[in-house]
């Protein structure tokens, strides 16, 4: 089963804190990472603190997602997108993600999952399976980067968990280079570059919203994520929007518990269409 990359999505959208769509700004915000990484800029801490403030104030958010995956061996790129390819999240630990393969005329190749706070249900549109991943009981900890960020991950915690550096800034963007320090994160990605809208004159209204990310996977596959029509603190979003959906004819599976210290990205597949509340 393919990895959904949902752990990455958390990192990208965690800074969302404003209504409306970010402006169109000239230039490509994200480029493949260089071989050698620059040392952290003293401004990094200030940017992380501003990002933390934005995250702390968010109750829910919704954003349209476009994902391009490039296979390292065959050099083939698969694109997921469209108006139904979205992520909808709500504190403390609710989430819905859907990704549609734009090159599939049958409309059956899509990925999705629902997190209702107690379990994560991963849907695979091609295999027609739903796999349930139970979330540990209260006090045991939820080892999922999405939930960690939605719960208000601090700038200090981010720096302890990742090797993070300020690559550069320009009039429109803040570019962050991020490498995983922990084994569980190293199984998800080797390196990523996150572009946030900066506090400059053209983008001040959308400062610290995610714009785009380039991610290098452990197997050298590449993923490029883009975000559009981001909305934050949407009225009417409730727990009922994150409930398990059974699909007639699909097989429901229960995933075995992950070994201690060895949890990874929840795989996905999909037949769930997150609605617009």
pLDDT digits (tens, 9 = 90+) for 119-142: 889 899 999 999 998 877 654 444
Domain presence at residue 270: no
Q: What does the longest C-alpha to C-alpha distance in the chain come to?
A: 56
Give the domain range for residue 76: 6-21+40-254
Residues of the chain below pLDDT 70: 1-41, 137-153, 257-277
- pTM score of the predicted model: 0.77
Position of tokens 């694109």?
A: 79
Domain presence at residue 51: yes
Domain presence at residue 277: no
Domain presence at residue 157: yes
CATH number of the domain that 16 lies in?
2.50.20.10
CA distance 275 to 277: 6
Domain presence at residue 273: no
Domain presence at residue 30: no
pLDDT digits (tens, 9 = 90+) for 58-71: 788 888 889 999 99
* Predicted local confidence at residue 139, as pLDDT: 44
Domain presence at residue 271: no
CA distance 59 to 272: 22
What's the domain count of the chain? Answer: 1
Is the backbone of residue 44 left (phi > 0), alpha (psi -120 to 50) or beta? alpha
CA distance 236 to 17: 17
* Predicted local confidence at residue 4, as pLDDT: 47
CA distance 65 to 270: 15
């Amino acid at each position: 089963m393919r990895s959904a990359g949902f752990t990455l999505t958390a990192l990208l959208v965690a800074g969302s804190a404003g209504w409306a769509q970010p402006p169109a700004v000239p230039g490509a915000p994200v480029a493949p990472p260089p071989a050698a990484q620059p040392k952290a800029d003293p401004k990094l801490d200030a940017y992380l603190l501003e990002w933390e403030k934005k995250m702390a104030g968010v109750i829910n958010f919704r954003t349209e997602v476009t994902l391009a995956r490039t296979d390292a061996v065959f050099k083939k790129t698969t694109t997921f997108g469209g108006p139904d390819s979205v992520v909808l999240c709500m504190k403390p630990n609710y989430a819905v993600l859907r990704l549609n393969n734009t090159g599939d005329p049958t409309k059956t190749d899509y990925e999705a999952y629902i997190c209702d706070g107690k379990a994560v249900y991963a849907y695979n549109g091609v295999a027609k399976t739903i796999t349930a991943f139970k979330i540990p009981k209260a006090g045991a900890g939820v080892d999922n980067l999405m939930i960690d960020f939605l719960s208000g991950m601090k700038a200090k915690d981010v720096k302890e968990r990742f090797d993070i550096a300020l690559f550069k800034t320009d009039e429109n963007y803040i570019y962050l280079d991020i490498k995983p320090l922990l084994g569980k994160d190293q199984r998800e990605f080797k390196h990523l570059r996150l572009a946030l809208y900066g506090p400059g004159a053209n983008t001040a209204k959308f400062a610290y919203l995610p714009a785009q990310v380039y991610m290098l996977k452990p197997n050298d596959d590449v993923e490029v994520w883009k975000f559009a029509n981001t909305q934050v603190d949407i009225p009417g979003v409730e727990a009922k929007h994150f409930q398990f959906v059974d699909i007639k004819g699909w097989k429901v599976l229960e995933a075995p518990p992950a070994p201690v210290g060895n949890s990874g990205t929840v795989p996905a597949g999909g037949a769930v269409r997150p609605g617009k509340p």
